[in-house]
Amino acid sequence: MKKAVVCALLCMALTVCGTALYAQAQDGMAQGGAMHPMGPMSADQRLQHMTQMLSLTSDQQTKIKPILENESQQMQALRADTSLTREDKFGKMRSIRETTNSQITPILTTAQQQKWQQEQAQMRQHSHNGVAPNAVSPGGEMNTPPPPQQ
């Protein structure tokens, strides 16, 4: 009898925790931060990721950091703007991301540009496969979830 009660309590605890984590993840995705499990990455985190991925020089890091910080500030302001519809927010997020990418690309070498574009394409493909529904990919594209299977 005790085993049954303990198992039931354990199942309930797992269900509650799982539901809370799922809701938190959905909230993060709705805010456009689904590309990172803990929500939107900071400018410093993105710069660190880019530095590792592309082997950025210190000069490149110095030039890219303010671009990422500006993008981060614009995205935060956009997320906080309650006057816009979800679609309008996604459109503006896409535009901000495209502007950021157009500013970063000339700073990179040809080899880095190719690697950066491959990474962005992989992220878009990953999000289009339903991994991050309703998210804005690094290329600024909005992803919609696949229709439910019946």
The reported pLDDT for the residue numbered 137 is: 45
The structure tokens 């690697």 sit at 115
Residue 31 CB-half CA count within 13 A: 19
Specify the number of domains making up the chain: 2
Q: Give mean pLDDT, residues 130-145.
A: 46
Q: Check pLDDT > 80 for residue 95.
A: yes
Q: Check pLDDT > 70 for residue 76.
A: yes
Closest CA to 96 of 133, 122, 68: 68
The verdict on 9 and 82 lying in the same domain is: no
Full residue range of the structural domain in which residue 7 is found: 1-30
Rounded Cα–Cα distance for residues 49 and 68 (Å): 12
Q: pTM for the whole thing?
A: 0.60
Summarize pLDDT for 10-32 with one digit per residue, the tens. 555 555 545 444 444 444 444 44
Tokens of 20: 């809370």
Q: Is residue 149 assigned to a domain?
A: no
Tokens of 11: 């199942």
Start-to-end C-alpha separation, the chain: 40
Q: Is residue 116 assigned to a domain?
A: yes
